[in-house]
Amino acid sequence: MTAEHTTKQRHPLAGKTMSGAEMIIQVLVDEGVDTIFGYSGGAILPTYDAIFRYNAAHKRSEQVRLIVPANEQGAGFMAAGYARASGRVGCFIVTSGPGATNTVTPIRDCAADSVPVVLICGQVPCAAIGTDAFQEAPVFNIMSSCAKHVFLVKEPGELEAVARTAFEIARTGRPGPVVIDVPKDVQNAAGVFQGGGLLNLRGYHDRMAALAAARVSREQAKAFYEMLARSDRPLIYAGGGVISANAARELRAFSQAFNIPVVTTLTGIGSVDTTSELSLHMLGMHGTAHANYAVEDCDFLITIGARFDDRVAGKVSDFAPRAKYIAHIDIDAAEIGKVKAAQWVFVGDAKTALADLCAYGKHFKKDFTKWVRHIRELKREHPMNYDREASLILPYYVIQCLNEITRGDAIITTGVGQHQMWSAQYFDFHQPRSWITSGSMGTMGFGLPAAIGAKTACPDRTVIDVDGDGSMRMNLGELETVTTYDIPVKIMLMNNLGDGMVRQWQRLYFGKRFSGTDKSLHKKDFVKTAQADGFEFARRLDDKSKVKQMLRDFVAFKGPAFLEVMIDQEAGVYPMVGPGMSYREMITGDYINKREEETPSPPPEEVIDMTKIPDLF
């Protein structure tokens, strides 16, 4: 591989002799990295030493912050939380062998949710690779099936260009994780710092150039608006790709311009203001009943940055059964037609596509008031609900009370399980990048380290990790990381003494045989654990009458705060669409109104004089 030198202005350090480790740190600084998450070890010592020496040579405002977690997995999720909250590339650095293998889960998690991070791993010296040397692992082989791209750098002269290229690959196209495996001797090798340049990856650069240049053509726009003109019940289905593309503003403008309601995936939450009249919130397995009913009723499904995931589409053949047309916008051509066929497609940037469609359609007129009125009625007839007279503390009530305090302005992170779904259902979000959760991989233990990363990226935002007792145990050691660095995150643990989501499935589908999911005999005292880790605010809440005041105290506390809430062990997540089932088979529980009657047929198609459509353009 050869390097392309693309910088127009000469780097002030160009021509200076540096070690490979020093080059790595300088490239990170050049790429805007202000925080590194990671754990040291023998094979990465030269790079950690370079961090120390870089910071010693610079004033505090120019230093790179280093946050050392309890476990390398925690470092990966911190980098992911940083990237998801900020939109910038997260960075973490670990040693070889077990240090690297501990990061496989966060790398796969980032790939599954299209999160841009760069992982730098130490590796044994080049001559020792393949000899089963101490703390050696085949990182390239392991990570190749998990990451967007992996580099094993054996030539010191390529290290600088590889590091810069890693950031470019992570952030461009469909974002994702990039891994750089750097042998210890390459870190120690001296070379001349170039101050710029990327690897000559012609195929990748050509594809990225084509994606950057992709625009909705006049003919494509005409075809889109012909379908919209023939539609009476259009619905936008927005996914995490809208967040990744920073296209929330364009999505909102498009939705409002044409009065089209929006449903979002789990990772698409925040792409529209959840309190908007046109927002139906989340669809899918645990989506709101009114969102799923809207999908059942729509006749034109406009899919943006989403991929018809199994937790959304369920029984694919019955998904959006009355949709005469499906449009699909995605930056990854591999997602087009993979699960569900579409009549109109655009492969490219969602932000650009929506702006183009808005521009082409500025003279398009059609009144969807009747459909919006129907949406309003769905929301009124089938709202989220629960037993409001219960004597035990119900999780829905807790989150509603917390939502009244945060007013939709906090960054919420979660682990995975029932607490994740309750949070998705009952919190409001006014802005994108305020909801941070492990979507596709569903990784327990994600919430706490992700909150640390998010708060580091956005120090002026309130950051709350809503967690479950099962997820909390997975990365419990990161409680100490919070207090070590005095990161003022708020951690609300909803404890139902078990793996609630799995228990719910066992209750519904496995004859209430709670194999391996009952944690009521566990002796863990989470409050004492938090106190032992230095939390000055560490309390347990088990009295429903004290919920509101305790939550106010929890959020108002100036430093890190930990609150354990003992919730009803039998509380379930509803609605629920069973695996492989259609939305018509949705279970709504005892307190959410189910639509018993047959889904209404769409109204007669409006007769459109198609000869007038070209005049719009």
Catalytic residue among 1, 134, 370, 606: 134
Helix boundaries (H) for 259-394: 289-297, 310-313, 350-360, 369-381
Active site includes 72? yes
SS3 sequence of 111-160 = HHCCCCEEEEEEECCHHHCCCCCCCCCCHHHHHHCCCCEEEECCCHHHHH
CB 19 within 8 Å of CB 190: yes
CB 242 within 8 Å of CB 350: yes
Which of 181, 79, 164, 193 minimizes the C-alpha distance to 124?
Answer: 181
Which residues are paired to 576 by β-bridges? 587
Cα separation of 497 and 519, whole Å? 5
Catalytic residue among 143, 151, 158, 184: 184
Which of 385, 455, 469 minimizes the C-alpha distance to 419?
Answer: 469
End-to-end distance of the chain based on CA atoms, in angstroms? Answer: 47
Active site includes 400? no
Work out the angle at residue 545's Cα, subtended by the Cα atoms of residues 543 and 550, and round it to the nearest 5 degrees: 75
- Exposed, middle or buried, 29 (CB in 10 Å: 0-12/13-18/19+)? middle
CB 182 within 8 Å of CB 45: no
Which residues are paired to 91 by β-bridges? 118
Cα separation of 103 and 133, whole Å? 20
Residues with Cβ within 8 Å of 208's Cβ and at least 6 positions away in sequence, in order, are 172, 173
Dmax over CA atoms of the chain, in Å, equals 76
CA 164 to centroid of chain Cα atoms: 24
Strand duo 190-192 + 17-19: pairing: antiparallel
Residues with Cβ within 8 Å of 261's Cβ and at least 6 positions away in sequence, in order, are 235, 236, 255, 278, 279, 280, 294, 371, 372, 375
Active site includes 135? yes
Computed from CA positions of residues 65, 109, 581, 261, in that sequence, does the dihedral angle turn out positive or negative? positive
AA letter at 327: A
CB 307 within 8 Å of CB 335: yes
Q: Is 243 helix (H, G, I), strand (E, B) or coil?
A: helix
Active site includes 564? no
AA letter at 396: Y
Catalytic residue among 18, 22, 31, 72: 72
Catalytic residue among 501, 550, 576, 586: 501
CB 191 within 8 Å of CB 17: yes
Which of 435, 443, 490 minimizes the C-alpha distance to 470?
Answer: 443
Radius of gyration of the chain (CA): 25
Which of 31, 30, 39, 24 minimizes the C-alpha distance to 78?
Answer: 39
Within 13 Å of residue 461, how many CA atoms lie on the same side as its CB? 25
Catalytic residue among 4, 16, 63, 135: 135
Active site includes 570? no
The residues that are catalytic are 72, 134-135, 184, 501
